[in-house]
């Protein structure tokens, strides 16, 4: 295998091969994810939730994102690494957006950046693209706007909102984004958008007809027991495995069963 590129993802869409994304935020996890053969790793701003315990993605800083992205890049050999640009670092000011994207690329070694929104951040996307930095779009439930939505539930159920989302998806493609994440939208809308675009769509809670899928790694591994949206499939119960191991360790130490003399110098 070799390094996955934006061009390769577009070829995968063309030949009908589904694209796999998972998030990672640290070296050890990213090493496991990359070795397993994932196409791309998203260093999501969900690091704010999963790594730092915040309720939303809003508090995470650009410096925090660079730290996580660098940790992932240090581990990865084959997967494409995409880093989110955090809230407040690109909206409304194209030059600030460019500087944030340049810092991520330069200081972390990521291969691309992701931003949330369509028309309203058009100038920022254009500016980032002028520096030759590949950009992934993100439409539907865009968590940086959670206080506008007021809920983490499915978006674009109404005809008008669906039309606007399709329009924004086409705009992102025209601007030059190489992929777009579709989060928490009806499956039939995601299908329509995926068929209307030549760039790949990467779905989360967007049904089976997007060109690829993404999940938060801790969610799909079963490490976030209180998070159970309809779209989530748990591929393991790693949290339970850890709980069991930690309890065994505690009882072994308490009962003087660990360490043995064989495990001593
Ligand atoms: O930050 C993130 O993890 C994301 C994915 C859920 C798409 O943006
Ligand atoms: Na994100």
Catalytic site residue 183? yes
Question: Taking Cα atoms as reference points, which of 85, 162, 96, 163 lies closest to residue 123?
Answer: 96
DSSP-derived 3-state class of residue 13? helix
Whether 84 is in the pocket of ligand 1, judged by its Cβ within 6 Å, is yes
Residue 37: phi and psi, rounded to 5, are 105, 25
Q: How much distance in Å is there from the Cα of 12 to the middle of ligand 2?
A: 23
pLDDT classification of 1: cutoffs 50, 70, 90: low
Give the pLDDT confidence of 244-260 residue by residue, as tens digits.
999 999 999 999 999 99
Contact 169, 139 (CB under 8 A): yes
ipTM, two decimals, is 0.99
Whether 181 is in the pocket of ligand 1, judged by its Cβ within 6 Å, is yes
Structural domains of the chain, with CATH: 6-234 (3.20.20.60), 237-265 (no CATH)
Contact 3, 109 (CB under 8 A): no
Residue holding tokens 């309203």?
120
Distance CA 210, CA 16 (A): 10
* Numbered residues of the known binding site: 45-46, 84, 114, 116
Contact 107, 66 (CB under 8 A): yes
Contact 171, 142 (CB under 8 A): no
Q: Looking at the CA of residue 116, tell me the nearest atom of ligand 1.
A: 8
Residue holding tokens 């694209």?
19
Give the pLDDT confidence of 40-87 residue by residue, as tens digits.
999 999 999 999 999 999 999 999 999 999 999 999 999 999 999 999
Q: How much distance in Å is there from the Cα of 6 to the middle of ligand 1?
A: 18
Distances (CA, A) of 208 to 37, 189, 227: 21, 11, 21
| The token pair that represents 78 in the structure block | 């084959």
What is the rounded average pLDDT of the residues 121-138? 98
pTM over cut 0.95: yes
pLDDT classification of 17: cutoffs 50, 70, 90: very high
Question: Taking Cα atoms as reference points, which of 49, 81, 83 lies closest to residue 63?
Answer: 83
Whether 23 is in the pocket of ligand 1, judged by its Cβ within 6 Å, is yes
């Amino acid at each position: 295998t070799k390094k996955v590129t934006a061009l390769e993802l577009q070829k995968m869409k063309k030949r009908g091969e589904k694209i796999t994304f998972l998030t990672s935020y640290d070296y050890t996890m990213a090493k496991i994810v990359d070795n397993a053969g994932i196409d791309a790793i998203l260093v999501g701003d969900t690091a704010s939730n999963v790594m730092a315990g915040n309720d939303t993605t809003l508090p995470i800083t650009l410096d925090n994102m660079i730290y996580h992205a660098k940790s992932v890049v240090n581990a990865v050999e084959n997967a494409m690494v995409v880093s989110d640009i955090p809230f407040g670092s690109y909206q409304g000011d194209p030059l600030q957006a460019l500087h944030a994207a340049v810092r991520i690329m330069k200081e972390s070694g990521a291969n691309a950046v992701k931003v949330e929104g369509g028309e309203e951040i058009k100038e920022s996307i254009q500016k980032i693209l002028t520096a030759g930095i590949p950009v992934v779009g993100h439409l539907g439930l865009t968590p940086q706007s959670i206080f506008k939505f007021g809920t983490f539930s499915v978006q674009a159920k109404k005809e008008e909102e669906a039309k606007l989302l399709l329009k924004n998806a086409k705009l992102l493609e025209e601007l030059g984004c190489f992929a777009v994440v579709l989060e928490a939208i009806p499956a039939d809308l995601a299908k329509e958008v995926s068929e209307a675009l030549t760039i790949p769509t990467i779905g989360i809670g967007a049904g089976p007809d997007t060109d690829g899928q993404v999940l938060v790694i801790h969610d799909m591994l079963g490490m976030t027991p209180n998070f159970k949206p309809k779209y989530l499939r748990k591929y393991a119960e790693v949290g339970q495995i850890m709980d069991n191991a930690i309890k065994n360790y505690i009882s072994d130490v308490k009962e003087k069963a660990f360490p043995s003399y064989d495990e001593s110098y």
